[in-house]
Amino acid sequence: MGPVDDVEEYFASMKIIVPERINPPDHFMDVLEGIAKPDGNPDFDPKVLPLKWIQHNKYPIPDDLQALASSLDNSSKSRNEEHEGSRIISSRNSFRQELWQEFTSFWEVKWDDFRSIFSHTEDLSQRRTLGFFSQLKLIISR
């Protein structure tokens, strides 16, 4: 419950990023149902979402979720300590990874264009498309 404009920001705070060419509401629903795993957060568990929402809105945590909240806090602290040393290495690799990602996405788009120009798809509809003059005649007669 909340403004629609804040949805992507809220999920991005949990490292749930919508991939390119994917409808954001569909992606969020797939993540919430456990169908899709977020790329930025492979350890994500949809069962913790109610607790995350409570913490995000700074509501008091109910008694039945206290144990889950403390286990999440402990696991996030240990993960932060483990990743301190790996941040330097990942920052060095990020430019190369980003460049490679840009190159491959550019090539995929261009390859799709290239294939669409030179490939011939078989018409399975068995429909006849009207030519220019037939369409013009149809328009004028209306």
Contact 11, 24 (CB under 8 A): no
138 belongs to a structural domain: no
Q: Residue 7 belongs to what domain range? A: 1-44
pTM, 2 dp: 0.45
**Number of folded domains in the chain?**
2
- Tell me the pLDDT band of 90, cut-offs 50, 70 and 90: very low
- Residue 142, in any domain of the structure: no
Say how many residues make up the chain: 142
Q: 36 with 74, same domain?
A: no
Tens digits of residue pLDDT in 35-76:
887 776 777 788 888 888 888 888 888 888 888 888 877 766
On whether both 5 and 22 belong to a single domain, the answer is yes
- Beta strand segments in the chain, E: none
